[in-house]
Amino acid sequence: MTSSQVDRTDEPRAGSEAVGGDTPEEGYERGLGSRQVQMIAIGGAIGVGLFLVAGANIAKAGPSLILMYALAGVIIFFIMRALGELLLYRPVSGSFAEYSREFLGPFFGYFTGWTYWLMWVVTGMSELTAAAIYVHYWFPAVPQWVTALVFLVVLFVANLISVKLFGEIEFWFSMVKVTALIGMIVIGLGVLTFGFSSAGDTASVANLWQFDGFFPKGIGSSLMTLQGVMFAYLAVELVGVTAGESENPEKTLPKAINTLPWRIALFYVGALTVILCVVKWTEFAPGVSPFVEAFAKIGIPAGAGIVNFVVLTAALSSCNSGMYSTGRMLRTLADNGEAPRVFNKLSSTKTPAFGITVSVLFMGIGVILNYVVPEKAFGYVTSVATAAGIWTWLMILVSHILYRRAVDAGRLPASSFPAPGGAKCSWVAVVFLLFVTGLIAYDADSRICLYVMAVWAVALAVGWFVLKARNPQVTERREATFEKVG
């Protein structure tokens, strides 16, 4: 069987009648054009993890944080190429949950789908918290929880209207982030080259090593920032969730994934390098965006306020993506009989409105956290999101390794977008993610997320046994279907 034959096959999912659902693609509108998918992919790599969390990580690791972002970026590229190979083998909405189901078994598909939903719910909480922190910059008298609630409602309404509106909002959010980051880099290079602004006298490439060296707190402290760095890369896999609503996934998805290295090099490594050359690392502190701080030091009129607006759009962009992906993942779970069937329904605007609504209600817990513990809310939810994200990435990698084995054995067709290095790079990424998990377990502050994930795993296991007792067909391994694409 060839890849092109796979794309022309259009058979109903085996066992779909047992669970009473439509196929995941049925009813969705392929309303995401090439420019929107490209910007969703770009925007997914630029979020609060860079704009806000980087401040705390700079304080912990100094200039060596640049190296941590570069190292993690290589691993993220391995993960995305593995996902890309799977997406072009069988592009489906639900993406990695479907691949986990196919290659590891129904339980892993169920676990991955629900865990990815959890990741986006808690990421949505963190982004709402970050957005509230940014608004606090202008309006310190406004309580964080009020701002978080307003943003939650506005984005919720936008997501209910149509996937085209979601794509358009995400396109412009991403455009603001990209334009602003490029502008920051250009201004920073101007300060370094021509010495203008109040930071010109002290701006120097030597700032990368002059203050206690490149690893001022030691290599161990630098490695401990990897958990925060990995949080910064959460959402790059979102492009996989768009597969079922992309106009031409065979062309748009490879292009979006292949541009990832330059995006990481420019927006993460490049931007941080310039900022740490312009302002010495000792000037940065947790809870303050390094970009806002840098522009304040440069002294450009209204510069810090403009950057604060940009990082606000980054937070809202990520929350917007979270609402989009949770509704789609719940529909995939419902289609497989692993969530209540009501999640399978689409609204008149072809959006999984009920799934989005329930997800938003859970994101509302973030509003409560901002009311109860505003100073700790961000740290709590980001650690849980990181743990859930690591599980998702591991499932992508393991599914890819098993897929390559099946291709080599002649049991499955080869993908039109093979990952460089094959399964070897996936193995390297698996080891790296397990290492980061060990760092999380070692750190007393972030360790709580592993306890949360343990409770989550027990809850899902109980749910699985209940599901198996009520409808054994749901828990049986089924043959994969190959959807039409393009």
**Is residue 393 over pLDDT 90?**
yes
The CA-atom distances, in angstroms, between 184 and each of 27, 115, 155 are 42, 36, 27
Q: What is the pLDDT of residue 42?
A: 64
**Amino acid letter, residue 120:** W
Quick check: 18 pLDDT over 50? no
pLDDT above 90: percentage of residues in the chain:
22
Domain regions of the chain by residue span: 30-412+419-475
Q: Is the pLDDT reported for residue 50 higher than 90?
A: no
CB-based contact 92:79 (threshold 8 Å): no
More confident call, 244 vs 203: 203
Look at residue 454 in the predicted model and tell me its pLDDT: 93
For the ranges 6-10, 292-296, 455-459, the lowest mean pLDDT is seen at 6-10
Tokens of 24: 């995941």
Distance CA 484, CA 188 (A): 47
**Burial class of residue 266, CB neighbours in 10 A (0-12, 13-18, 19+):** middle
* CB burial readout 380-409, b (16+ within 10 A) else e: bbbbbbbbbbbbbbbbbbbbbbbbbeebee
Residue 29 clears pLDDT 60, i.e. is over it: no
Summary mean pLDDT of the chain: 80
Read off the pLDDT of each residue in 328-341 and give the average, rounded to a whole number.
Answer: 85
Q: Summarize the confidence of residues 41-59 as an average pLDDT.
A: 73
| Stronger pLDDT, 355 or 164, i.e. the higher one | 355
Question: In this predicted structure, which of 4-8, 150-154, 174-178, 226-230 has the lowest mean pLDDT?
Answer: 4-8
Give the alpha-carbon dihedral of 153, 155, 161, 162, to 10 degrees. Answer: -160
Asked if pLDDT for residue 390 goes beyond 90, the answer is yes
Structure confidence by residue, pLDDT tens digits, 189-198: 888 888 777 7
Q: Is the pLDDT of residue 279 over 70?
A: yes
Question: Per-residue confidence at 381, pLDDT binned at 50, 70, 90?
Answer: confident
User: Can you read off the two tokens belonging to residue 29?
Assistant: 């509108």
Query: Which tokens go with 180?
Result: 């602003």
Residues of the chain with pLDDT > 70, as a percent, come to: 82
pLDDT value of residue 20:
37
Would the pLDDT of 398 be above 90?
yes
Instruction: Give the Cα separation of 265 and 240 in Å (integer).
Output: 21
Weakest-pLDDT range from 135-149, 257-271, 299-313, 356-370: 299-313
pLDDT of residue 447: 85
Quote the pLDDT of residue 154: 87
Instruction: Return the closest-CA partner of residue 123 out of 364, 482, 386.
Output: 386
Q: What is the mean pLDDT of residues 119-135?
A: 82
Cα 107 from chain centroid? 23
Who has greater pLDDT, 417 or 368? 417
Distances (CA, A) of 149 to 101, 231, 361: 36, 23, 11
Classify domain 30-412+419-475 by CATH number: 1.20.1740.10
pLDDT of 402 higher than 90? yes
pLDDT band at 15 (very low <50, low <70, confident <90, very high): very low
pLDDT of residue 426: 96
